[in-house]
Amino acid sequence: MATIAGSRRIRRTPFSDGVEAFGVKGYTVYNHMLLPTVFRSVVEDYHHLKSAVQVWDVAVERQVEIRGPDAGKLMQMLTPRDLRGMLPGMCYYVPMVDETGGMLNDPVAVMIAEDRYWISIADSDLLFWVKGLAYGLRLDVLVDEPDVSPLAIQGPKAEELAARVFGDKVKDLKFFRYGHFDFMGQDMIVARSGYSKQGGFEVYVEGAQYGMPLWNALIEAGKDLDVHAGCPNLIERIEGGLLSYGNDMTRDNTPHEAGLGRFCSTQTAIGCVGRDALLRVAKEGPVKQVRALRIEGDLPPCDREWPLMDGQRQVGTVTSAAWSPDFETNVAIGMVRMTHWEAKTDVDVVTQAGVFPAVVQETFWI
């Protein structure tokens, strides 16, 4: 593909200088901002992520901040996950839906205080929906995008690296919990989370001016750990079944179709604007759902939806795919009709480079 022209609409991040110093080789655009996709090669980055530690510029995980007396009420309107048990110090993965039950985003919600939340969004303009609800319903809240940029530390040596910069106390953090940690006199929120299955942390860097100092400190402290700049890795995230909003599910899908039913408690999520719609579809169950698929052959890049066929009949789509060196097969994510979603079902994938045989899997790989 040709290169993308930089411009003000495609925002740089507080860490972009660090990313470029490591020789970033590819970018995508996510939330109108640059997201690195490859440093050495996707396969080299993959092996390194699974064996060492990487520092990721995930500033594209923008925050929608909700502040004020009605913050909790507005949060519950956005999601079918029951938020009543949420307390400061917790992060929740929360499907967010519109009034039809269609997915608008699949963010990580961070409860900063009783009356203050950050919604760490995937790639859609959720801010406008949240602002619209707040204004239309005259809620007592402020809704904005604050100057907060997440930096992820991911990989088997992430705990060691994070402890060197933030102190041994980070090791006590449980999955999807956060704490406040000091970096050069600045308070930072550090959570045990991140878009990989290798373990690690996300630092919510408040104030762009702290971006490069933190980046440099992590790179310096991790020299003997073989630390390298990295980014969400296509192969690893498919192996782990981590979904990509806009690719693996869209506004046309319910959370149940996306396989996110375990994050919904629609019956008790009183106030969720999609509650009635979701209760209706959850009763019957979805007629198509996300599945892991194994595909044979030398695939082209998955830069479009690939029809899944049983003979002349379309029975679904493949939405993400890549060659997995560790599992020695093409790993893929697709949306499969219920007639064909059972494990071991044989189907055909129609790509821009021909037709390839595929098999529905029982589970993801990691």
What is the rounded CA–CA span in Å between residue 242 and residue 327? 17
**Among the residue ranges 192-200, 208-216, 274-282, 328-336, the one whose residues contact ligand THG (CB under 6 A):** 192-200
The residue among 234 and 347 lying less far from ligand THG, judged by its C-beta, is: 234
Question: Could you say which residues in the range 135-154 bind ligand THG, by CB under 6 A?
Answer: 150
Stretch that binds ligand THG, among 49-57, 119-127, 137-145, 290-298 (CB under 6 A): 119-127
CA–CA gap between residue 290 and residue 238 (Å, rounded): 12
Asked if 334 touches ligand THG (CB under 6 A), the answer is no
Q: Which amino acid is at 365?
A: W
> Maximum distance among all alpha carbons in the chain?
64
Q: What Rg do the C-alpha atoms of the chain give, in angstroms? A: 21
The tokens of 63 are what?
A: 């925050």
Binds ligand THG by CB under 6 A, chosen from 34, 121, 227, 278: 121
46 vs 204, beta carbon nearer ligand THG: 204
> Does residue 233 bind ligand THG (CB under 6 A)?
no
Residue 353: CB minimum distance to ligand THG, A? 29
Our finding on whether 194 is near ligand THG (CB under 6 A) is yes
Closer by beta carbon to ligand THG, 201 or else 215: 201
Quick one: which of 27, 195, 210, 215 contacts ligand THG (CB under 6 A)?
195
Those residues with Cβ within 8 angstroms of residue 117's Cβ, 6 or more apart along the chain or in another chain: 65, 66, 71, 72, 75, 109, 110, 111
Q: Which is nearer to ligand THG, 19 or 139 (CB)?
A: 19
Question: Which of these segments, 8-16, 106-114, 269-277, 339-347, binds ligand THG (CB under 6 A)?
Answer: 106-114
SS3 31: coil
Alpha carbon 17 to its chain centroid, in Å, reads 23
**In the chain, what is the straight-line distance between the N-terminal and C-terminal CA atoms, in Å?**
31
Give yes or no for a contact between 145 and 32, defined as CB atoms under 8 angstroms apart: no
Nearest to 109 by CA among 94, 96, 124: 94
Nearer to ligand THG, 108 or 302 (CB): 108
Binding residue for ligand THG, selected from 234, 235, 242, 321, defined by CB under 6 A: 242
CA–CA gap between residue 322 and residue 332 (Å, rounded): 7
Part of the chain binding ligand THG (CB under 6 A), chosen from 140-148, 158-166, 177-185, 193-201:
193-201
Is 120 one of the binding residues for ligand THG (CB under 6 A)?
yes
Angle, vertex CA 219, rays to CA 213 and CA 224, nearest 5: 150
Residues lying near ligand THG in the complex (CB under 6 A): 61, 93, 106-108, 120-122, 150, 176, 193-195, 202, 242-243
